[in-house]
Amino acid sequence: MSEKNKGIFYIILAALCFSLMSLFVRLSGDIPSMQKSFFRNLVALIFSLFILWKEKIPFHAGKGNTIYLILRAAFGTLGLFCNFYAIDHLALSDANMLNKLSPFFAIIFSYFLLKEKVAPYQLICVITAFIGTLFILRPGFGNLVTFPALIGLLGGLGAGIAYTMVRVLSGQGVKGPFIVFFFSAFSCIVTLPFFIFNYTPMKPWQLGFLLLAGLAASGGQFSITAAYSHAPAKEISVYDYTQIIFSSLWGILFLGELPNWMSVTGYVIIFGASLTMFLKRQKEAQKREN
């Protein structure tokens, strides 16, 4: 199997894991998002600690990187809270598609924070993606879906900033497992007071689903790290959108959800913008190689 095909395999595996995480979070029932986040990150924290110990990765990020770790953790935690809220209040596929706007937010914040140039086609794709978002948000007076959808959009924004910080940290040589560990530990510390003082009693099956969500999320995080270690984002990132297919399937099979035509139109527009950007990057890479 070529390195690119390995990357594609791992990114589709990550998409499957993250879609299962969303399903398990929803199936865990009426529990505060903070409590769900605590268990999701607790499992990821244990996994990342094991990887750090096994691979003998040092527990430090290097000089000048702490601020980027904190920003990655803070905005990643915000994105996670918003994503879990959206999962509980929207169709599973809607919530996941709004979270998949993070690459477009990453382009915007890379321009402002990293001073990276934005090509005209990237700007057009970003604008097109946000037009697609309007079909999912369905803004209008008296529309109950709007507020949860806006929270889901905020989750995508938080994830976009977090991924921008991951790019900075990776460029500085910070190891992926340490970034996952710092983020998981930060999120657990932030949610711990809510967990202690606003704890909602859980039945064994609810705890089971939350632990499964944590396992699925850990599998997703390490799979996506493996994917980008085998192939660059410009070659495989578009396959990450298979998560929407998986989420739609779980929604139909387990939750009785069927996306309406406006949501599907939004999915097609956003995916089309992502596919255009993907193909354009590949074309530019081929020109450079020639």
pLDDT band at 172 (very low <50, low <70, confident <90, very high): confident
Tell me, letter by letter, the H, E, C secondary structure of the chain.
Answer: CCHHHHHHHHHHHHHHHHHHHHHHHHHCCCCCHHHHHHHHHHHHHHHHHHHHHHCCCCCCCCCCCHHHHHHHHHHHHHHHHHHHHHHHHCCHHHHHHHHCCHHHHHHHHHHHHCCCCCCHHHHHHHHHHHHHHHHHHCCCCCCCCHHHHHHHHHHHHHHHHHHHHHHHHHHCCCCHHHHHHHHHHHHHHHHHHHHHHCCCCCCHHHHHHHHHHHHHHHHHHHHHHHHHHHCCHHHHHHHHHHHHHHHHHHHHHHCCCCCCHHHHHHHHHHHHHHHHHHHHHHHHHHHHHC
pLDDT at 39 exceeding the cut of 60: yes
pLDDT digit string, tens, across residues 177-218: 898 899 999 999 999 998 888 889 999 999 999 999 999 998
Q: What is the pLDDT of residue 139?
A: 61
Q: What is the mean pLDDT of residues 144-156?
A: 81
pLDDT digit string, tens, across residues 7-37: 889 989 999 999 999 999 999 999 988 899 9
Q: Is the pTM of this model over 0.75?
A: yes
- Domain count within the chain: 1
Q: Which domain holds residue 110?
A: 3-289
Mean pLDDT of the chain: 86
